[in-house]
Amino acid sequence: MNDFGIVTAPDTVRIERILPGPIERVWAYLTESEKRGSWLARGDMDLRPGGEVELVFHNNQLTENDVAPPAKFEKYGGELRSHGHVVECDPPRLLVFTWDESVGGDSQVRMELAPKGDDVQLVLTHSRLASRNGMVSVSGGWHTHLGILADRLAGRTPAGFWATLAPINAEYEKRIPA
């Protein structure tokens, strides 16, 4: 499986990962604040359609032995908050929520889980992205965050968030058409 996400529509990117299971454990890492905070962002999720989603990012504190954020990403180093709403929820297989409504964002994240033996396939689709820059940014971000998730689930120490994000983002700049 290619680790890089693919563009599936002019405003949509899809990333797939095989993660150590079982599915209920992966679901917990997607939905429980403390576990989600170890790879993405803490915050409450009301797991019913219309329920509120708050993601509180602390990217500078996400991994050990990291580098300082590159100048391009400095504004994302401190606390950032993203608000949205649950669109669909079917535990432990499907979670769909809106992304960053607080700044006028209209994009949507869809996370689908399926058992694959002892592992779990995660298909993450981020759609309704307003621009190519947005697609590059969320692709690099999701790619890096999902790498941390895979490492946490496997009991490995993940590589530094910022040290990983910069080269991954550069690669998405090349891969996503202008």
Question: Percentage of residues in the chain with pLDDT exceeding 90?
Answer: 88
19 belongs to a structural domain: yes
The residue to which tokens 């929820």 are assigned = 89
pLDDT band at 104 (very low <50, low <70, confident <90, very high): low
- pLDDT score for 57: 96
Please, what is the average pLDDT of the chain?
94
Predicted TM-score (pTM) of this structure:
0.95
72 belongs to a structural domain: yes
Give every strand in the sheet of 12-20, ordered side by side.
Answer: 6-9, 12-20, 119-127, 107-116, 94-99, 79-90, 52-58
**Mean pLDDT of the 137-153 span:** 97
- pLDDT score for 2: 56
What's the total number of domains in the chain?
1
**Mean pLDDT of the 157-166 span:** 95
55 belongs to a structural domain: yes
141 belongs to a structural domain: yes
Output the domain CATH number for residue 171. 3.30.530.20
1 belongs to a structural domain: no
- pLDDT score for 103: 66
Domain that holds residue 68: 6-175
**Mean pLDDT of the 143-148 span:** 97
25 belongs to a structural domain: yes
49 belongs to a structural domain: yes
**Cα(136)–Cα(171) distance, integer angstroms:** 9
